[in-house]
Amino acid sequence: MFKKKIAILSGILAVVMLAISGCYKTTTYVENPGASITQTMSFASDIVPIFSSNCALSGCHVAGGKAPDLTAANAFKSLTDGGYFKASDPDNSTIMLWLTGKKSPVMPLGAGPNADINAKIYAWINQGAKNN
């Protein structure tokens, strides 16, 4: 009887360990992702193309879609008016929290954190988030 109880407990423990080992975080946050970028980030040349190809898509961050509107014509005003970034403070900017997975849903939606995107947007905010 005692051996049977130990066998059952061992089996339960094995199932629990297997279940726990299957749990993992799919999002990794890298501190200061834009620290390696030394060139000046341009909103028009560096950031808007990111939004155009990853965010301002049908049903997503477009006029009439999910806020903020990240279409080329409206992105800066929408980000500013909505308080999605804090100039020179990327670590406390909502957009970076989404991009790094610290806030749900992780963006870009379905793709998750992208080191290149995060580095450029982090650097742009860190450099003062200018509309240049």
| Token pair 């028009």: residue | 44
Give me the pLDDT at residue 26, please: 39
Q: Which of the two residues, 128 and 10, has the higher pLDDT score? A: 128
pTM score: 0.73
Task: Judge contact between 53 and 47, C-beta under 8 A.
Answer: no
Could you state, in order of their start, the residue ranges of all structural domains in the chain? 28-126
Burial class, 5, CB count within 10 angstroms (exposed 0-12 / middle 13-18 / buried 19+): exposed
- Mean pLDDT of the region 85-109: 95
- Mean pLDDT of the region 35-51: 91
pLDDT band at residue 21 using 50, 70 and 90 as cut-offs: very low
DSSP of 89-111: -GGG-HHHHHHHTSSSSPSSTTT
- Sign of the torsion angle spanned by Cα atoms 7, 13, 16, 18: negative
User: Residue 69: CB partners within 8 Å, gap ≥ 6?
Assistant: 56, 61, 62, 63, 75, 78
Q: What is the rounded average pLDDT for all residues in the chain?
A: 82
- pLDDT above 70 covers a percentage of the chain that reads 73
